[in-house]
Structure 1
Amino acid sequence: RLQKHGILGERTIVVHAVHVDAREIELLADSRTWVTHQPRSNMNNGVGISDVESMMRAGVRVCLGNDGFSNAMWEEWKTAYLVHKVWQRDPRRMPGDKIVEMAIDNNGALAGMFFPEAPIGMIKPGAYADLMMVDYYPTTPLTEGNLPWHILFGFHSSMVTTTIVAGRLLMRDRQLLTLDEKEISARAQELVPDVWERYQSFVPDD
């Protein structure tokens, strides 16, 4: 139906894509449509697991997202790495390099379509200076080849000490420089009761 109405294409993002068959995967690949994989959200909602490995083999450009579940993207890496092994009952499924392909290569390429002024997702002259510093002391050798597995098994968000976006320093030594975290939290607590009450008004009684 999306193909019939001209919706699929290289500037279209299909989110989740949990229930797609072989023909639909072919349509996604042929139309150069993007797909985003949100494994923790899918697990939380009990809707199933997207067959992203089949999509990637077919040439579909699959990215890794979080659907607002949380901002801890390394946890999304870990979940994507593990859940496909459980789903397929095969420890060889969804290797670390495929996680990198989704989370770094494809995410960067997708972002670059909408922010084309400079390269994204890479470190080189002329690229956006989007960087983070991580307080990580590996107990085994760290190389370019095994970096994905260090991230999967060793990294967590509390290790991030400094973030830089487009050359602008946003956090230094775990202190936010452009936002007042306490003020934001206090304001959120003021607003949440009303939001929750409105939500409850839409929930049918059992």
Structure 2
Amino acid sequence: MLGGLFGFHASMTVSDKTVAESVKLMEGLDSGYHVHVAEGIEDLEDSRAKYGLGVVERWHKHGILGPKSIVVHCIHISESEMDLLKESGVAVAHNPESNMGNAVGLSPVLKMMEKGILVGLGTDGYTADMFESYKVANCLHKHGAKLPSAAWAEPPRMLFENNRTIMNRHIGGEVGTLKPGAYADIVIVDYNPPTPLHGGNVNGHLLFGVGGRHVDTTIVNGKVLMDERKLLHLDEEKIMAESRALAQKLWQRI
């Protein structure tokens, strides 16, 4: 269940020479690229000043876009660049909390999805809780659209459908569905709401009730990794102690 991508940071930190050499290294490999795209306005300004192109246009010129690649953020992009994303089949990763925390702007997620671009939901390190990212995406795009009826359909599609599609492109199997032959990836939540829970209102419960704190059991490819909130195959106390020590060393270095 592992898949790898060639990682760039962002357009403004990678020269044309580096990109060209990276493309050569990828020849013959059934993989793609991962890169932050037009996250901040400075990435766009740098690309225009150096190359006379928008960020998406630059990556398209180098052949970086494609079904096996993931472009992250895509905030400062034009409508014509959205068309390039659509034509290439590349996946976009939307990270609402990161965008808010870094004050870089609002990604035109609703417009991209309207065009048929595959947009998934991520975190960019701001949280480890995908339920939280899901909630924030819902609220952020209502706020951006100034419309309380907006963004009801898109966040669940990003999280539960599109993320699955993106993952399946890279692992040589199928996740995100319960059927014979698929990877047995399951999360069990301990959630006992004071209101009825059924197929007609489950999205509301996922948005306003369920959170990472309710996750009781996780199963990956049929293997139980956590049961009753206890990690079964890792020494959590040892890992936490080592992490604190390494964090202290890092702070001393910077």
What is the TM-score when the length of structure 1 is the normalising length? 0.92
Q: Which residue of 2 aligns with 1:99?
A: 155
> Post-superposition shift, 1:196?
1.5
User: What TM-score does the superposition give when structure 2 sets the normalisation length?
Assistant: 0.75
Structure 1 position 52 matched with structure 2 position 109: yes
Alignment partner, residue 149 of structure 1: 204
* Percent of aligned positions that are identical: 43
**CA shift digits 1:29-55 (9 cap, x unpaired):** 111111000000111111011010000
Matched, 1:71 2:139: no
Q: Does 1:36 align with 2:125?
A: no
2:220 corresponds to 1:165: yes
Over residues 87-112 of structure 1, what are the superposed CA-to-partner deviations in whole Å (9 max), with x where a residue is unaligned? 221111111x3111101111011111
Supply the AA of the counterpart residue of 2:211: H
SS in structure 1 at match of 2:113: helix
Distance in structure 2 (CA, Å) of the matches to 1:192 and 1:83: 32
Q: What is the Cα deviation at residue 78 of structure 1?
A: 0.4
Helix, strand or coil: the match of 2:218? strand
Q: Unpaired segments of 5 or more residues in structure 1?
A: 201-206
Mapped partners of 1:105, 1:116: distance in 2: 17
Q: Tell me, which stretches of 5 or more residues in structure 2 are unaligned?
A: 1-57
> Which residue is equivalent to 2:73?
16
1:197 Cα deviation from its structure 2 partner = 2.4
Determine which of 226, 234, 254 is the counterpart of 1:179. 234
> 1:193 Cα shift?
1.5
Partner Cα distance (1:72, 1:187) in 2: 22
